[in-house]
Structure 1
């Protein structure tokens, strides 16, 4: 099912000026000015100017009278739109289907890519945060249709509209959220129709006779009764291949055959440039213009056409061809120079270390589980258990660091130590029993303590004073890693930090 992000850039002209020229500072008010006949009107205001009471449509003379140190820059809509298209190209990193929505927005169809970012909420949060770090004010909403997402981003208060809940979400929004001309919005307002829900309740025929067909079309597009296509933006410099068909296709075998042809052709194009694919987008253009987009990634650059085609195997079975697919586009949205380095792995059949290419295995696991769920653990120079390891990409270069063989560590380390109820018979002795998650464990064997102190040189960032760790075994043979967070007799508490295999 379709899911569309509407990215709203309320201060895009002023943000562009600051990013291009580096001034004025963000705390000084900035506006752009447009000339309409003999009048010079404010066309855009930044947050600092808004806080001082300036609004779009005011005369520049009025604004300068209100704010003495106001920065005024001539508006250049052509440059604003060109920069918006460049930003839309950057957004292709989130989905292959990205379409600019001038003058202040971008649409992103994330139906096939949200899982790669851990879900819709994390994708939107990452998008807005990264734009903010670049000095771009942005708001975003997700809905089933571009029109509903557009209205929610500008007039709503919900970031995500759940699937199938458009009607209840938009009925209270102003009719301006339908992207209607201002004259129609004013005409509806004179009739007392200010909300989308009120307009939807009107009889369609009188509404069409009075205000034209656009009002009904926008309503249908918001609710999903009429499909609103998004034309994907594909940069000219991005390696891509397109294949159009004389007759529409829809069978799975046909789709696989087309994909094999496209990957072979694309890899041939990349060979003279010594480039390999890291991110690949497949777009099927349906007859009804309901494009279907799929995205896969690779652990390292590759030009193996057969391997790239196999990454789409499971997802091709879920493609809905509708009334037929008339063209297919394969886009290498991220490429890198090919590297000859391979990770060493142990060949257990011969007992010798041989160079085995694990990238294909990592790619297949990433395509099935999501690339963020495929990783390896890398040692870190720290004697604090929770800081002695970190997650890195599965094929990240080896650092040569290892864990000490003289300090046994559990095979499973809890993300956060869990408080347990424990009783030790003598000071500095391991507990005789402990209760963890409402289960009582009687300790049969124990070893310790191993004293670990906090890393004071880190500036006290949540560091502890000391911990006394014990390896214990209960009556069932299960082994645990417990610690006491203070010396015996000082109101110490017991915690469980790990479990041995």
Structure 2
């Protein structure tokens, strides 16, 4: 079973610029000899402005409308950086089009107390980031994107794609404009209308892309995604029922996380060279502590000792609601190292 999160950022080109909330403004591009609105702020859209509108018409409605040129390359680069930042939730992330980020969260939700906890954590981070967003989690990338943009958002139950997406408009399939127009002329307006049609006539009339797109959304055909793939992700996270704040409780959490992480590293034949211990405060801020070793290590007592001096700077704020331990750098753990390690020798046999 695969699971994916779509983070849609409908106003990303303007939101990323950090303009004042509520500012009615637009980014411009040229179409022929005319200037048109390439992107608008949320406030501008609420005021009736839309991408594709001629600048002259927009200025007739709002003479003092602030504008600047859209920098396509910078906008795309900023989205790519955001996708990398999203690796706090999954090692597999990627920009999805111009205004979305996709995460493969298969097997990840347990680190956050389940899928609701994962979605809550992502939502809290993006609210703090100060951008407009919509979230959805589903079995396929296409279903997550459709549910975020055209459905209610949130968690789509496992196996519920066909039922839940059927009422959505066919625009949720990300089809070409001419295909959408042709389907509308035939009276096919919802995904359910397409699901009820034989595939061969659809392919003959609109090309093979249409049935392929349907199959991908339903999970019958894999989607090709260029992930920002990093090395295998070794991390453990624990949420707390009640916020903690003492050094003793933090060290207990660290000890438990080390034991779980080292078990996984041992199974993979690895030791750790660099570790990051991150405390997530109740106000969504974080405090991180990083240690390094001269050679691969997986003795929890030694690693715990290395954290003792950095933890002198512990600042729990109003309380710590979760802790995360991540192996930033790993390398192979040899039999000789395992023998010297003592406890690890048995695991290597």
1:150 alignment partner, one of 145, 150, 156: 145
Cα pair distance change 1:67/1:296, threshold 3 Å: same
Residue in 1 that maps onto 2:162 = 167
Output the CA distance in 1 between the equivalents of 2:273 and 2:103. Answer: 16
| Deviations, residues 115-167 of structure 1 (Å, cap 9, x unaligned) | 11122122222212212222211111000000100111111113111001111
Output the CA distance in 2 between the equivalents of 1:67 and 1:394. Answer: 49
Output the CA distance in 2 between the equivalents of 1:43 and 1:179. Answer: 19
Residue in 2 that maps onto 1:5 = 5
Question: 1:176, CA displacement in angstroms?
Answer: 1.0
Output the CA distance in 2 between the equivalents of 1:16 and 1:394. Answer: 28
Residue in 2 that maps onto 1:47 = 42
Output the CA distance in 1 between the equivalents of 2:273 and 2:32. Answer: 46
- Which aligned pairs between 1:295-374 and structure 2 lie closer than 5 A? 295-296=235-236, 310-311=263-264, 337-338=290-291, 357=301
1:67 alignment partner, one of 39, 62, 67: 62
2:73 alignment partner, one of 78, 85, 99: 78
| Deviations, residues 238-272 of structure 1 (Å, cap 9, x unaligned) | xx4xxxxxxxxxxxxxxxxxxxxxxxxxxxxxxxx
Cα pair distance change 1:70/1:117, threshold 3 Å: same
2:86 alignment partner, one of 91, 108, 117: 91
1:136 alignment partner, one of 131, 149, 160: 131
Output the CA distance in 2 between the equivalents of 1:104 and 1:394. Answer: 29
Residue in 2 that maps onto 1:475 = none
Q: Is the 8 A contact 1:281 1:332 kept in 2?
A: no
Output the CA distance in 2 between the equivalents of 1:228 and 1:101. Answer: 12
Residue in 1 that maps onto 2:215 = 220
Q: Is the 8 A contact 2:14 2:26 kept in 1?
A: yes
Cα pair distance change 1:76/1:307, threshold 3 Å: same
Q: Is the 8 A contact 1:281 1:331 kept in 2?
A: no
Q: Is the 8 A contact 2:139 2:161 kept in 1?
A: yes
Residue in 1 that maps onto 2:308 = none
| Deviations, residues 327-361 of structure 1 (Å, cap 9, x unaligned) | xxx99895864279xxxxxxxxxxxxxxx92968x
Q: What is the number of equivalent residue pairs in this alignment?
A: 278
RMSD: 3.5
Question: 1:100, CA displacement in angstroms?
Answer: 1.2
Residue in 1 that maps onto 2:337 = none
Q: Is the 8 A contact 1:41 1:57 kept in 2?
A: yes
| Deviations, residues 343-382 of structure 1 (Å, cap 9, x unaligned) | xxxxxxxxxxxxx92968xxxxxxxxxxxxxxxxxxx9xx
Residue in 1 that maps onto 2:281 = none
Cα pair distance change 1:217/1:149, threshold 3 Å: same
Q: Does 1:118 align with 2:106?
A: no
Q: Is the 8 A contact 1:281 1:296 kept in 2?
A: no
2:183 alignment partner, one of 184, 188, 197: 188
Question: 1:35, CA displacement in angstroms?
Answer: 0.7
Cα pair distance change 1:198/1:308, threshold 3 Å: same
Cα pair distance change 1:197/1:312, threshold 3 Å: farther
Q: Is the 8 A contact 2:149 2:172 kept in 1?
A: yes
Q: Is the 8 A contact 2:111 2:237 kept in 1?
A: no
Q: Is the 8 A contact 2:274 2:291 kept in 1?
A: no
Question: 1:76, CA displacement in angstroms?
Answer: 1.2
Q: Is the 8 A contact 1:96 1:232 kept in 2?
A: no
Output the CA distance in 2 between the equivalents of 1:87 and 1:394. Answer: 20
Q: Is the 8 A contact 2:274 2:292 kept in 1?
A: no
The structure where strand makes up a greater share of residues is: 1
| Deviations, residues 76-119 of structure 1 (Å, cap 9, x unaligned) | 11111100000000000001111211200111011221111122
The structure where helix makes up a greater share of residues is: 2
Secondary structure at 1:338's aligned position in 2?
Answer: strand
Cα pair distance change 1:55/1:296, threshold 3 Å: same
Output the CA distance in 2 between the equivalents of 1:65 and 1:131. Answer: 35
TM-score by length of 1: 0.50
Secondary structure at 1:40's aligned position in 2?
Answer: strand
Secondary structure at 2:301's aligned position in 1?
Answer: coil
